[in-house]
């Protein structure tokens, strides 16, 4: 299971928020490119880049995201307020390995189906959960569709995978909700990238055992709670529960 550091960009800086709430920054770094490069220098094999301004409906940070992709030269999954085909193509053309779609995709499933057909194996669907419901619009609103219904809708779409951030534990540095992660991963019809609360090696092992394809880490590595001494956790089960 791959461990991926998060580079969350807001107001042209790298930040780490608690539960995605603006004003709760635990970490701020003025240079997003330098922050991303620091993880590559420490051995990271991929990057998770989120444009929080785009997610909150503000001016996007695509120019700096392109610079990060160009300088870092590792697979990068990029998301945050992406709502149109042009932006997806722009990011993929710039070298993004995967593009994360969320609010637009959850609310307009026909659009998601169309985009998945145009960009097969390149889209990650963000199914972020808060209080057991899918959270949209930068985690500020609950959607009107259940996790189970969304699984049924996307079952046969050619998606690269699902990004599941547990907003309830995101940014708190208190560990994952193992029960929630295991249930989500076991029921999801696509590979899952887990995010939210990954604080210790044991959290990562729990996710690997549950069958997660990758885990996104944020506050824990920025604050030193989790030492990124290795960037992959070996399978400790005989395979993914989805196999």
The two tokens of residue 176 are 């994952």
Residue 179 backbone phi and psi in degrees, to 5 = -65, -45
Q: Would you say 208 and 2 are in contact if contact means Cβ atoms under 8 Å apart?
A: no
What is the distance between the alpha carbons of residues 81 and 101, in angstroms, rounded to a whole number? 7
Can 97 be counted among the known catalytic residues?
Answer: no
The edge-to-edge listing of strands for the beta sheet with 128-130 is 128-130, 133-136, 141-142
Catalytic residue among 8, 51, 53, 203: 8
Q: Would you say 29 and 13 are in contact if contact means Cβ atoms under 8 Å apart?
A: yes
The two tokens of residue 22 are 């603006």
Residue 136 backbone phi and psi in degrees, to 5 = -130, 180
Catalytic residue among 51, 53, 128, 203: 128
Can 168 be counted among the known catalytic residues?
Answer: no
Residues classed as catalytic:
8, 128
């Amino acid at each position: 299971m791959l461990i991926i550091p998060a580079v969350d960009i807001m107001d042209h800086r790298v930040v780490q928020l608690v539960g995605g709430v603006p004003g709760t920054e635990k970490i701020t770094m003025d240079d997003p490119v330098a922050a991303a490069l620091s993880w590559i220098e420490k051995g990271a094999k991929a990057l998770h880049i989120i444009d929080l301004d785009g997610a909150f409906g503000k001016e996007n940070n695509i120019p700096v995201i392109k610079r990060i992709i160009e300088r870092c030269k590792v697979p990068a999954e990029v998301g945050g307020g992406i709502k149109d085909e042009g932006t997806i193509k722009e990011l993929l053309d710039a070298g993004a390995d995967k593009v994360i779609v969320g609010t637009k995709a959850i609310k307009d499933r026909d659009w998601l189906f169309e985009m998945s057909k145009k960009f097969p194996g390149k889209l990650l669907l963000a199914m972020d959960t808060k209080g057991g419901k899918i959270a949209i619009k930068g985690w500020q609103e609950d959607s009107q569709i259940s996790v189970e219904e969304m699984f049924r809708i996307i079952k046969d779409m050619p998606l690269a995978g699902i990004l599941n951030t547990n907003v309830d534990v995101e940014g708190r540095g208190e560990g994952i909700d193992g029960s929630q992660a295991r249930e989500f991963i076991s029921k999801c019809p696509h590979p899952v990238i887990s995010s939210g609360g990954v604080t210790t090696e044991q959290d990562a092992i729990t996710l690997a055992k549950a069958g997660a394809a990758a885990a996104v880490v944020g506050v824990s590595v920025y604050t030193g709670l989790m030492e990124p001494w290795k960037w992959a956790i070996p399978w400790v089960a005989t395979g993914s529960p989805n196999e």
